[in-house]
Structure 1
Amino acid sequence: MTLIDPGQEDAATTFARLAVDLHEAGGVEETVDAVVQFALQALDCTYAGVALSSRGSRAEIAAVTDPLVSDVFELQISSQTGPLMTALRDRTPVLIRDTALDERWPEWAAKVAELGVRSVFDVPLTTGNPRTWTVGVLGLYSPDPDAFGPDDEAVAHILARHASVALASARNEAALAQAVDARKLVGQAMGILMERFDIDGDRAFAVLRRYSQDTNTKLRDVAQQLIDTRKLP
């Protein structure tokens, strides 16, 4: 994938190219890597990163352009506070013009300022309508105070929208692939039981489901264990 300097072509063409690049990125990992690399070229930021979240689970660091971003993210994920967590929970962008002056998260801001980050812009990655859950956050960072102007904010929002759609698509495809794989495993396990105990498919599935419930183990994992060991849990 070749990223284009937005200064060399009009914005519409730039983001059309971005949409194609993200669509062709493949999985979630490739998609978030494409997002942060584009952010470095399209925005006045020195560092960028993406943190992802699933409903009810802890946010995870998905992509960073520098280890420094991992530190900035981890400080917030471990404490469950800061602009990243606010953007994730409230589905609203958070702009910090100068970490040395911002008073909303003084302890975090002081640590981040010591790392050399002065400007922060966290943009939520959401899918569907405003009530829909947040996929993650795109974090943009600069060592300069007041680094992000109106143009940067506008571009960041457009990038976030493209990234949200691409990530949702990549996750859906990954979930579908996992579901297909699980069905194959269960089918193989059912075949083993049907042959060994001379039972029909309905009875074989009932046996797998009962073991899954009795051992509090996912049906897919019960099937995998049977295939690997020829024994039920």
Structure 2
Amino acid sequence: MSTLLPDASGAEKSLAATLADLARDLQREQVPDDVMVHSVHSAVALVPGAQEASISLVRSRRHVLSAAVTSDVARGFDAVQGELGEGPCLAAIASEPVVRADDLAGDPRWPRLGARAGELGVRSMLCFQLFVHENTLGALNLLSAEASAFDEEAETVGAMVAAHAAVALAGAQKFDHLRTALANRDVIGQAKGILMERFKVDADRAFDLLTRASQDRNVKLHRLAVELTRTGSLER
């Protein structure tokens, strides 16, 4: 049985179904980079007025990194905001969940950005805060070459896309960390097996040998294990 309201219009039902499909598609992605690429292209396809999009990661509230973009225009605009230390993206990341700029050329909030935005052909922008994690923050940015390209509908749809992207990205990051942990555990097990065979010791003793070598050389345990499994030896 459908969970949609019986008086919802055909357009609303279609949008709800599309967003549900997007949520399922994003949840299937298991790599954070794939989630972000899927999200920016979906945002352009779904949000009225959006022509380009990016997901920006900001460290120390100033250094902007384009994690996913739909074009070089979006990438260049992220770089300009990082260079100037101002712009809708940084505002969304730092303090406001949603930031809209109807005409960057004359927006008093970011006086230095207007001319540079014009050079890149960007007039309007709509930004959504995605997450805040330790010293890294993230935002979904939508851009248009037209002034006043985004309205209330765009904010509503964009917020839903951003919410789905944030949830999927959080899940993918956890999966990525788990996958890394499992891979590290597997390679450490292989290294232990090599030492057990070579020195005729049990698993506990092999792990002690690996740990001591890691401490003596000031090298992380899993990196040392990778070296041992790849070369068959540990350099002194």
What range is the shorter-chain TM-score in? 0.7 to 0.9
Structure 2: distance between partners of 1:8 and 1:137: 26
2:103 matches 1:98: yes
1:35 alignment counterpart: 39
Structure 2 residue corresponding to 1:50, chosen from 51, 55, 58: 55
The one-letter code sitting in structure 2 at the alignment partner of 1:42 is: L
1:3 alignment counterpart: none
Structure 2 residue corresponding to 1:197, chosen from 177, 196, 199: 199
- Aligned partners of 1:49 and 1:62 also within 8 Å: yes
1:19 alignment counterpart: 23
List aligned pairs for 1:101-112, cutoff 5 A. Answer: 101-112=106-117
Q: How many residues end up aligned between the 2 structures?
A: 225
Structure 2 residue corresponding to 1:173, chosen from 160, 175, 179: 175
TM-score (norm 1): 0.84
Which one is further off, 97-106 or 70-79?
Answer: 70-79
User: Cα distance 1:54–1:226, how it changes in 2: closer, same or farther (>3 A)?
Assistant: farther
Q: Where do 5+ consecutive residues of structure 2 fail to align?
A: 1-9
- Of structures 1 and 2, the larger Rg is shown by 2
Structure 2 residue corresponding to 1:156, chosen from 150, 155, 158: 158
2:3 alignment counterpart: none
Shift, 1:208, TM fit? 2.2
Give a deviation string over 1:62-113, Cα, whole Å, max 9, x none. 2211111110112233555433233233362222121101122322332112
Give a deviation string over 1:132-185, Cα, whole Å, max 9, x none. 886621110011112111111111111111000111111111111111110010
Structure 1: distance between partners of 2:218 and 2:85: 30
Q: Where do 5+ consecutive residues of structure 1 fail to align?
A: 1-5
Which one is further off, 53-62 or 85-94?
Answer: 53-62
1:68 alignment counterpart: 73
2:124 matches 1:122: no
1:221 alignment counterpart: 223
Indicate the structure whose relative CO is greater, using CA pairs within 8 Å and at least 6 residues apart.
Answer: 2
User: Cα distance 1:161–1:98, how it changes in 2: closer, same or farther (>3 A)?
Assistant: same
Q: Aligned to 1:206, what secondary structure does the other structure show?
A: helix
1:138 alignment counterpart: 140
Which one is further off, 8-17 or 149-158?
Answer: 8-17
Structure 2: distance between partners of 1:217 and 1:58: 29
Task: Provide the alpha-carbon RMSD of the alignment.
Answer: 2.8
- Aligned partners of 2:55 and 2:66 also within 8 Å: yes
The one-letter code sitting in structure 2 at the alignment partner of 1:18 is: L
The one-letter code sitting in structure 1 at the alignment partner of 2:52 is: Y
Structure 1: distance between partners of 2:231 and 2:63: 33
Q: Aligned to 2:105, what secondary structure does the other structure show?
A: coil
- Aligned partners of 2:84 and 2:112 also within 8 Å: no
User: Cα distance 1:35–1:225, how it changes in 2: closer, same or farther (>3 A)?
Assistant: same
TM-score (norm 2): 0.83
- Aligned partners of 1:91 and 1:134 also within 8 Å: no
Structure 1: distance between partners of 2:217 and 2:114: 46
Percent identical among aligned pairs is 36
Structure 2: distance between partners of 1:91 and 1:219: 41
